[in-house]
Structure 1
Amino acid sequence: MFNRNHRMKVLFATLIIVTAMAGCAKEPYRDSAVEESVATKDAPHTLDVFHIAFAPGADETERTFSWHTRGMNKKGVVELSQLDEEGNVLSSETFEAAGEGILRGFSSHKATITGLEENQLYSYRFGDGHRAWSESYTFRTQATEDDDFNFLFFGDPQIGAGDGAQIDADGWDRTVTTATEMFPDTAFLVSAGDQVNTAHNLKQYDGWFFPEELTFYPIMTLIGNHDYTPFADYFNPPNETGLGADDAGSDFYFTYGNTLFIALNTQRNNIEEHREAMELAVAENPEATHRIVLMHKSIYSSADHARDEDVLAFRDGLVPVFDELDIDVALMGHDHVYVRTYQMKGDAVVEEIAYDEAGAAVDPEGTLYLTGNSASDSKYYDMQDSSVYERYAAVALQLEEPTFMNVEVTDDSLTFTTYKTADQSVVDAYSIVKVDSGE
């Protein structure tokens, strides 16, 4: 069991009031596969819901959900309520969910809510389409003035890869809480894949879903090699293209503000399908100022996976596509190490870059590649000899302690700052400024 006291953010003071009214104090870590909810026993019309995946939608006006209930092939709905600042309900709308039975007698439900307004307080709850409802959860959308926003990026949590699911879950919880307390206005979170160590282990998924912040900050998850097929039972990404697909899912994309995000399923090494998916995403969003690729396997790293055959194949195949499509940055995981490359183009370092007075790269050519280390403290890989990565790595570190990255986005800039969870000190920072972005 965990006994950490949760210090909620000032931004969410109203959320605390609403949550308290709904009676949803944070539950201790538990194994959803074997325990039953006391609330369900005591209140027959209360729906026991678990593994709630709250995620960004196709754009900032949408969010997606996936959640589990007990019993096979159960109907599911999600009710969205718009609230005033005192937590009073202004209006409500119900969205139907697609559902299907999965192993061990659970039903998986997926739904998308639409029509969200900026800088607005909302609550949501899940129902069975009859009388039973879950507890309510709250979130606030961000203001999108001037296209400024930030998001948080976390390297592989991989719950269960360390000294046990509970210990790993506690580390993951600590990092998520630290990051969101530092950046309470963050628009969303990104998990680099390998949410768990063993894809069919429900206790490990209980640990990944443990941070209460994941019910009011949407988090986009990537398909990792340890997640594999069950990924589709837990998460509901937007705009799935059907390209780069396997049983776990496919390449997908979404936008937020002025930025296009393209997520690649690196369990599939079909470069042409990944190219087609990226071209589709770019064609559908020609006005996006920034283009960011999200992928699990890092193609420029410095630890155990740096020279894997599939990683090198991705490097050979994807780098030319990134160059052609003017991808600004690729955010990656998999190698459990921190790496920031130089600006890379055609698998070579861009030699001529101008910097402004603040040290930001001005209109640099090529793509920046960033690999995030473990966010949970569950596992780290040893660095390889520097001859493997010194050609492309501006920074390569194995700190053997959890970190996270904050990404600040404006109309003409991207700033990537990585922090240690333990003391919030800066590990590394890098900025790109686009002088010609508005032309």
Structure 2
Amino acid sequence: MTIKYYLFAIVLSISSLTALRAQHHHEGLHHWEIPSKDPDRIILTFSGDPATSRAVTWRTDTTVVNAKVQIAKATVNAKFVAAAQTLEAKSEVFDLGLYKGNNSLRVHYHSAEFNDLEPDQLYVYRVGDGEAHWSEWIQFRTAKSNYAPTQFVYFGDAQNEVLDHWSRVIRRAYQTAPDASFVIHAGDLINSSHRDSEWAEWYKAGGFIHSQWTAIPVVGNHEFYPLAKGGPRQLSIQWRPQFSLPVIEELPAELHETVYTVDYQDIRIIVLNSNDQLEAQTTYIEKQLASSTAKWNIITCHHSVFSPAKGRDFQFARENWKPLFEKYNVDLVLNGHDHTYARGHVPVRSADTSDSDGLGTVYVTSVSGPKQYQLDKEQIKAYAADGYQPDNSAEQTQFYQVITIEDNTLTYIAYTVLGDEYDRAVITKDFDSGAKTLQD
């Protein structure tokens, strides 16, 4: 054997071992789960003023260390490319093997913020390594700087068999409201918080929609699970790397990026973590509502304040959060968790709909995934003691909701996965007095 051949054999052996080791890390993974130089799991979130900023996060393999983003104003042709601004992204190593249910595999998550954008402007962006491996160009529109018509989508739990059975829900929602300004995912996005194969399904189910609609993700109870048997429950190890979300410094660190507020065109959306440290959030809720000058105030958290399902009861929220919602005239509360559908309101409307106390807060619980529970009709009736009046309900049905706000009217529509309208509620509001009426 010549020295040249011997050296070649060594190199080949090393390459083979490396390939085998890589195959071991990828064993059992679908091709769309395996990271590469090409960006995947691209998602837009809010960071700062929605009229002038956005955040984007994506994933690659560990060979991409100097990730880039490019952004430009959209044009009717491809000439925007020449004017595109290139920005450096932040990158972090993430070890999927922190959870033993995942393959022992390291990836890179990358994130960047777009700042100093123009209000009500259509932009295009792409993410990549700055060389040969880029995503497609993706469009989004910034918010207007003042009050204007807005439409957004809301999903209850996706959670189970996400790729098989939730994909048609988000895709049908996109067909119904393609120009939605943002989307609220009200917790339990997947079933097993740390299991990366489930997050892969969530991203594949939504595809490009995640990178075009700006997401407002909410943590549910299934975003928490022990990393090891017998250990404490922990927030999904993927949550903070894959979503760039506001950090509220006044809150405990455990609540960072799970409790935050988004102000979008005179709509204040307060996102809560209904799993932990509820007292600390009670203070935060009052501060955010007391300081709000928004025309509409919306709360979203995972657990249902008025749970319609058997064996469920979020008593803390009814005793501590509901009085604040009433005090500050919150318009809409959007929940998940109970795998059923229910819409109701507090207080009970009087016969005279001109009465300024005729309508307080509308509460909705919904489910978008295939896991379904039974309604507890007796429990729903018992909420009358809290002034709750049920308006509509359903079970064994996958839903998505489209909310449209224009002038002094908020129109809420619940659609089945077939795209059929199931439920509608129209809130009309006097912005001077705060008085509201509800029309089904």
* Global fold match (TM > 0.5): yes
On the 8 A contact 1:175/1:402 being kept in 2, the answer is yes
Note closer, same or farther for the CA distance 1:434–1:395 as it changes in structure 2 (3 Å cut).
closer
Query: How far apart, CA to CA, are the structure 2 residues paired with 1:279 and 1:388?
Result: 27
Give the superposition deviation at 1:34: 5.7
Match of 1:116 in 2: 117
Match of 1:352 in 2: 350
On the 8 A contact 1:77/1:96 being kept in 2, the answer is yes
Query: How far apart, CA to CA, are the structure 1 residues paired with 2:177 and 2:363?
Result: 23
- TM-score, normalised with respect to structure 2: 0.77
Q: What are the within-5 Å matches in structure 2 for residues 158-307 of structure 1?
A: 158=159, 161=160, 165=161, 168-210=162-204, 211=206, 212-228=208-224, 229-230=235-236, 231-238=239-246, 240-243=248-251, 245-246=253-254, 249-271=257-279, 273-282=280-289, 286-304=292-310, 306-307=312-313
Match of 1:3 in 2: none
**Aligned equivalent of 2:62, options 58, 61, 71:** 71
Query: How far apart, CA to CA, are the structure 1 residues paired with 2:39 and 2:417?
Result: 30
Q: Does residue 1:51 correspond to 2:41, yes or no?
A: yes
Query: How far apart, CA to CA, are the structure 2 residues paired with 1:427 and 1:67?
Result: 35
Match of 2:325 in 1: 322
Q: Does residue 1:98 correspond to 2:90, yes or no?
A: yes
Match of 2:423 in 1: 428
Query: How far apart, CA to CA, are the structure 1 residues paired with 2:283 and 2:415?
Result: 35
SS at 1:319 equivalent: helix
SS at 2:254 equivalent: coil
Match of 1:401 in 2: 397
Query: How far apart, CA to CA, are the structure 2 residues paired with 1:60 and 1:249?
Result: 17
Note closer, same or farther for the CA distance 1:31–1:249 as it changes in structure 2 (3 Å cut).
farther
Which ranges of structure 2 fall in alignment gaps of 5 or more residues?
1-28, 96-104, 225-234, 435-440
SS at 1:88 equivalent: helix
On the 8 A contact 2:42/2:58 being kept in 1, the answer is yes
Query: How far apart, CA to CA, are the structure 1 residues paired with 2:405 and 2:351?
Result: 21
Note closer, same or farther for the CA distance 1:115–1:353 as it changes in structure 2 (3 Å cut).
farther
Q: Deviations over 1:185-240 (max 9, x none)?
A: 21111111111101121111111111222221222111111113222232122353
**Mean Cα deviation higher: 91-100 or 149-158:** 91-100
Match of 2:141 in 1: 141
**Aligned equivalent of 2:361, options 362, 367, 378:** 367
Q: In the comparison of the two structures, how many residue pairs are matched? A: 376
Match of 2:151 in 1: 150
On the 8 A contact 1:301/1:337 being kept in 2, the answer is no
**CA-atom RMSD in angstroms:** 2.8
Give the superposition deviation at 1:399: 3.2
Q: Deviations over 1:17-73 (max 9, x none)?
A: xxxxxxxxxxxxx74686355xxxxxxxxx322222212333322222222221289
- TM-score, normalised with respect to structure 1: 0.77
SS at 2:305 equivalent: coil
Q: Which amino acid aligns with 1:150?
A: Q
SS at 2:60 equivalent: strand
Q: Deviations over 1:72-96 (max 9, x none)?
A: 8934332212221223216322344
Q: Which has the larger radius of gyration?
A: 2
Query: How far apart, CA to CA, are the structure 1 residues paired with 2:393 and 2:118?
Result: 41
Note closer, same or farther for the CA distance 1:325–1:436 as it changes in structure 2 (3 Å cut).
closer
Give the superposition deviation at 1:353: 6.4
Query: How far apart, CA to CA, are the structure 1 residues paired with 2:412 and 2:31?
Result: 36
Which ranges of structure 1 fall in alignment gaps of 5 or more residues?
1-29, 38-46
Q: Which amino acid aligns with 1:115?
A: D
Match of 2:4 in 1: none
Q: Deviations over 1:262-320 (max 9, x none)?
A: 1001121422x213323443466x4311111111111112114532xxx1122211112
Query: How far apart, CA to CA, are the structure 2 residues paired with 1:328 and 1:245?
Result: 29
Query: How far apart, CA to CA, are the structure 2 residues paired with 1:362 and 1:106?
Result: 56
Give the superposition deviation at 1:413: 1.9
On the 8 A contact 2:248/2:256 being kept in 1, the answer is no
**Mean Cα deviation higher: 110-119 or 409-418:** 110-119
**Mean Cα deviation higher: 409-418 or 131-140:** 131-140
SS at 1:226 equivalent: helix
Query: How far apart, CA to CA, are the structure 2 residues paired with 1:186 and 1:355?
Result: 31
Match of 1:386 in 2: 378
Note closer, same or farther for the CA distance 1:388–1:182 as it changes in structure 2 (3 Å cut).
closer
SS at 1:322 equivalent: helix
SS at 1:397 equivalent: strand
Query: How far apart, CA to CA, are the structure 2 residues paired with 1:371 and 1:85?
Result: 41
On the 8 A contact 1:291/1:328 being kept in 2, the answer is yes
SS at 1:428 equivalent: strand
Query: How far apart, CA to CA, are the structure 2 residues paired with 1:232 and 1:418?
Result: 30
Query: How far apart, CA to CA, are the structure 2 residues paired with 1:394 and 1:376?
Result: 23
Match of 1:419 in 2: 415
On the 8 A contact 2:68/2:128 being kept in 1, the answer is yes
**Mean Cα deviation higher: 252-261 or 234-243:** 234-243
On the 8 A contact 1:412/1:437 being kept in 2, the answer is no
Give me the identity figure in percent: 24
On the 8 A contact 1:119/1:140 being kept in 2, the answer is no
Give the superposition deviation at 1:178: 1.2
Q: Which amino acid aligns with 1:433?
A: T
Query: How far apart, CA to CA, are the structure 1 residues paired with 2:191 and 2:265?
Result: 33
Query: How far apart, CA to CA, are the structure 1 residues paired with 2:249 and 2:64?
Result: 26
